[in-house]
Amino acid sequence: MLRVVVAGAYGRMGREVVKAIWNTDDLELVGAADSKREGVDIGSLIEAGNTGMVIDKDIEELLVRVRPDVAVDFTAPQAVYHNTITCLNHGVRPVVGTTGMNPGQIQEIIDLSRKLGIGGLVAPNFAIGALLMIKFATEAARHLPHVEIIELHHDQKLDAPSGTAIKTAEAIIEQRGDFQQGLATETENIAGVRGGKLSGGVRIHSVRLPGLVAHQEVVFGGLGQTLTIRHDSITRESFMPGVLLGIRKVIHLERVVYGLDKLLFD
């Protein structure tokens, strides 16, 4: 049975992860951490009554004390890089769902994991449908290279654009290459109205509103036609099968991989 801890346990995603692991027969929840809710019994997070297991404030102290196999991170952009490096240095396999790390930080994590021979996962999105959306969009880009991405999330999301949108754009650019789309001389009368543009030419538009969870449209345009590929996560439960898959798979890896698709499709 794999021993698992959850960092960011009091957050909305963290609570779902705690519940999913608690109710899974082949995984054992051995600890939880959250910098804002030290001492709270995890039973209050999952409606399980008093469990006797309380939330720790410091993830490193928790790792040293309980020595888990895997640590799942759904914390915050300013904490996730340090948390992941700490996990690797303590021989714990990270499964990271927190977005906001830059490409250089992700590469440093991968390089360190390879040096230590420790597997792990950094995943912008754990929803299986979202991974299929990226896969289908990558195929569509071979035939319809004009494309823009609209990602929509709840108004408490800390980073923009989403990690899923960036991963989608990167996959499209890898397939179609650099591409000049639209007028090279277009003018924005309001700064940023055309969204952000990744190197390679894909524009991303971010929407933040209450009532949303996680949604994305990849809109392609061609001669006399458009194609829209859309994925919607209606509840955070949609991410749990992917999180559990990641926990089980990283045990067999010798380095950190970027994207759950590497485990699902490769």
Asked if 86 and 143 sit in the same domain, the reply is no
Asked if 146 and 90 sit in the same domain, the reply is no
Query: Does the active-site annotation cover 90?
Result: no
**Annotated active-site residue in 36, 82, 153, 252:** 153
- 3-state secondary structure (DSSP) of residue 233: strand
Residue 248: which residues within 8 A CB-CB, separation 6 or more? 2, 26, 27
CB 140 within 8 A of CB 229: yes
Asked if 76 and 90 sit in the same domain, the reply is yes
Asked if 75 and 29 sit in the same domain, the reply is yes
CB atoms within 10 A of CB 161: 22
- pLDDT over 90 at 178, yes or no: no
Mean of pLDDT values over 42-60: 89
- pLDDT over 80 at 173, yes or no: yes
Asked if 250 and 157 sit in the same domain, the reply is no
Distances 32 to 48, 62, 75, 225 between C-alpha atoms, Å: 15, 8, 12, 50
Q: Where are the alpha helices (DSSP H) in the chain?
A: 12-22, 43-46, 59-66, 77-89, 103-116, 128-140, 163-176, 240-250, 261-264
Residue 31 tokens read as 């600890």
pLDDT tens figures, 220-266: 999 999 999 999 999 999 999 999 999 999 999 999 999 999 998 87
Query: Does the active-site annotation cover 82?
Result: no
Q: How confident is the model at residue 28 (pLDDT cuts 50, 70, 90)?
A: very high
Estimate the share of the chain in helix, then strand, then coil, as percent rounded to the nearest 5: 35, 25, 40
What pLDDT score was predicted for residue 185?
Answer: 81
Exposure b/e, 211-232, CB count within 10 A at least 16 = b: ebbbbbbbbbbeeeeeeebebb
**Annotated active-site residue in 115, 154, 157, 231:** 157
| Range of the structural domain that residue 11 is part of | 2-122+237-264
Residue 180 tokens read as 């000049």
Asked if 138 and 219 sit in the same domain, the reply is yes
Asked if 78 and 207 sit in the same domain, the reply is no
What pLDDT score was predicted for residue 50?
Answer: 87
pLDDT tens figures, 8-17: 999 999 999 9
For residue 32, what is the domain's CATH number? 3.40.50.720
Alpha carbons 80 and 46: distance in angstroms, whole number: 23
DSSP characters over 22-68 = HT-TTEEEEEEE-TT-TT-BTHHHHT----S-B-BS-HHHHHHHH--
Asked if 145 and 111 sit in the same domain, the reply is no
pLDDT tens figures, 71-83: 999 999 999 999 9
Asked if 7 and 117 sit in the same domain, the reply is yes
Asked if 81 and 58 sit in the same domain, the reply is yes
Percentage of the residues of the chain whose pLDDT score is greater than 70: 100
- 3-state secondary structure (DSSP) of residue 170: helix
> Which pTM value belongs to this model?
0.86
- Mean pLDDT score across all residues of the chain: 94
What pLDDT score was predicted for residue 67?
Answer: 97
Count of domains for the chain? 2
Asked if 117 and 6 sit in the same domain, the reply is yes
Asked if 175 and 192 sit in the same domain, the reply is yes
What pLDDT score was predicted for residue 182?
Answer: 79
One-letter amino acid at 84 equals T
For residue 144, what is the domain's CATH number? 3.30.360.10
